[in-house]
Structure 1
Amino acid sequence: MPPPREEHQQLLLDRDEVQEETAYESTEKVHIIGVDGDEEGGDWAKTPPFSWKKLWLFTGPGFLMSIAFLDPGNLEGDLQAGAIAGYSLLWLLLWATAMGLLVQLLSARLGVATGRHLAELCREEYPKWAGLLLWAMAELALIGADIQEVIGSAIAIKILSNGFVPLWAGVVITACDCFIFLFLENYGVRKLEAVFAVLIATMAVSFAWMFGETKPNGVELLLGILIPKLNSKTIQQAVGVVGCIIMPHNVFLHSALVQSREVDQRKIGRVREALNYYSIESTIALAISFMINLFVTTVFAKAFYGTDIANSIGLVNAGQYLEEKFGGGLVPILYIWAIGLLAAGQSSTITGTYAGQFIMGGFLNLRLKKWLRALITRSCAIVPTMIVALAFDTNEDTLDVLNEWLNVLQSVQIPFALIPLLCLVSKEEVMGVFKIGPVLKMVSWLVAALVIVINGYLLLDFFSSEVQGWLFGSLVSGFTAAYVAFIIYLISRGITFWNWFGFLQTKKFTNTGN
Structure 2
Amino acid sequence: MTELALIGADIQEVIGSAIALKILTLGFLPLWAGVIITALDCFIFLFLENYGVRKLEALFAVLIAVMAISFAWMFGETKPNAKELLVGLVVPKLNSKTIQQAVGVVGCIIMPHNVFLHSALVQSREIDPRKTGRVKEALRYYSIESAIALAVSFIINLFVTAVFAKAFFGTAIADTIGLGNAGQYLEEKFGGGVVPILYIWAVGLLAAGQSSTITGTYAGQFIMGGFLDLRLKKWLRALITRSCAIIPTLIVALIFDSSEESLDTLNEWLNVLQSVQIPFALIPLLCLVAKDDLMGVFKIGPVLKTVSWFVAALVIAINGYLLQQFISEEVSGVAFTSTVIIFTVALWHSLYTLSGEALQFLHSVS
CA distance in 1 between partners of 2:28 and 2:324 (Å): 40
Per the alignment, residue 335 of structure 1 pairs with 199
Whether 1:457 and 2:288 are equivalent positions in the alignment is no
Structure 2 unaligned spans of 5+: none
CA distance in 2 between partners of 1:493 and 1:165 (Å): 48
Contact 2:122 2:139 in 1 (8 A): no
1:38-437 equivalence runs, <5 A:
137-437=1-301
The alpha-carbon distance between structure 1 residues 378 and 307, as it changes in their structure 2 partners (threshold 3 A), is same
Deviation string 1:433-462 (CA, Å, 9 cap, x unpaired) is 110111111111111111111111111111
Query: How far does residue 188 in structure 1 lie from its aligned partner after superposition?
Result: 2.0
Per the alignment, residue 111 of structure 1 pairs with none
CA distance in 1 between partners of 2:14 and 2:363 (Å): 44
CA distance in 2 between partners of 1:287 and 1:431 (Å): 28
Query: How far does residue 491 in structure 1 lie from its aligned partner after superposition?
Result: 5.2
CA distance in 1 between partners of 2:303 and 2:357 (Å): 21
Q: Which moved more, 1:369-378 or 1:244-253?
A: 244-253
The alpha-carbon distance between structure 1 residues 222 and 476, as it changes in their structure 2 partners (threshold 3 A), is closer
Structure 1 unaligned spans of 5+: 1-136, 506-514
Query: How far does residue 228 in structure 1 lie from its aligned partner after superposition?
Result: 2.2
Query: How far does residue 346 in structure 1 lie from its aligned partner after superposition?
Result: 0.9
Contact 2:324 2:340 in 1 (8 A): no
- Any idea what SS the aligned residue of 1:414 has? helix
CA distance in 1 between partners of 2:143 and 2:241 (Å): 29
Percent identity, please.
Answer: 78
CA distance in 2 between partners of 1:322 and 1:356 (Å): 35
- Any idea what SS the aligned residue of 2:213 has? helix
Contact 1:146 1:352 in 2 (8 A): yes
CA distance in 2 between partners of 1:285 and 1:357 (Å): 21
Query: How far does residue 329 in structure 1 lie from its aligned partner after superposition?
Result: 1.4
The alpha-carbon distance between structure 1 residues 469 and 478, as it changes in their structure 2 partners (threshold 3 A), is same
Query: How far does residue 493 in structure 1 lie from its aligned partner after superposition?
Result: 7.0
Across the two proteins, how many residue pairs are aligned to each other? Answer: 366
Query: How far does residue 476 in structure 1 lie from its aligned partner after superposition?
Result: 5.6
Deviation string 1:454-488 (CA, Å, 9 cap, x unpaired) is 11111111112223585786466334312223224
Give the partner amino acid of 2:39.
Answer: A
- Any idea what SS the aligned residue of 1:348 has? helix
CA distance in 1 between partners of 2:260 and 2:15 (Å): 12
- Any idea what SS the aligned residue of 1:404 has? helix
1:23-34 equivalence runs, <5 A:
none
- Any idea what SS the aligned residue of 1:233 has? coil
Counterpart selection for 1:442 from 287, 293, 306:
306
Counterpart selection for 2:349 from 469, 485, 488:
485
The alpha-carbon distance between structure 1 residues 442 and 492, as it changes in their structure 2 partners (threshold 3 A), is farther
The alpha-carbon distance between structure 1 residues 230 and 492, as it changes in their structure 2 partners (threshold 3 A), is farther
Contact 1:419 1:490 in 2 (8 A): no
Contact 1:150 1:346 in 2 (8 A): yes
Q: Which moved more, 1:463-472 or 1:287-296?
A: 463-472
The structure that has the greater radius of gyration is 1
Deviation string 1:222-281 (CA, Å, 9 cap, x unpaired) is 111111212221111111122233211011111221111112222221112112211222
The alpha-carbon distance between structure 1 residues 156 and 221, as it changes in their structure 2 partners (threshold 3 A), is same
Q: Which moved more, 1:225-234 or 1:480-489?
A: 480-489
CA distance in 1 between partners of 2:83 and 2:340 (Å): 46
Per the alignment, residue 52 of structure 1 pairs with none
Query: How far does residue 178 in structure 1 lie from its aligned partner after superposition?
Result: 1.5
> RMSD of the TM alignment (CA)?
2.1
Q: Which moved more, 1:156-165 or 1:440-449?
A: 440-449
Per the alignment, residue 61 of structure 1 pairs with none
Give the partner amino acid of 1:155.
Answer: I
- Any idea what SS the aligned residue of 1:232 has? coil
Contact 1:145 1:410 in 2 (8 A): yes
Query: How far does residue 401 in structure 1 lie from its aligned partner after superposition?
Result: 0.5
More helix by share: 2
- Any idea what SS the aligned residue of 2:138 has? helix
Query: How far does residue 424 in structure 1 lie from its aligned partner after superposition?
Result: 0.8
What's the TM-score once normalised by structure 1's chain length? Answer: 0.68
- Any idea what SS the aligned residue of 2:96 has? coil
Give the partner amino acid of 2:245.
Answer: A
CA distance in 2 between partners of 1:471 and 1:225 (Å): 40
Query: How far does residue 155 in structure 1 lie from its aligned partner after superposition?
Result: 0.4
Q: Which moved more, 1:142-151 or 1:327-336?
A: 327-336
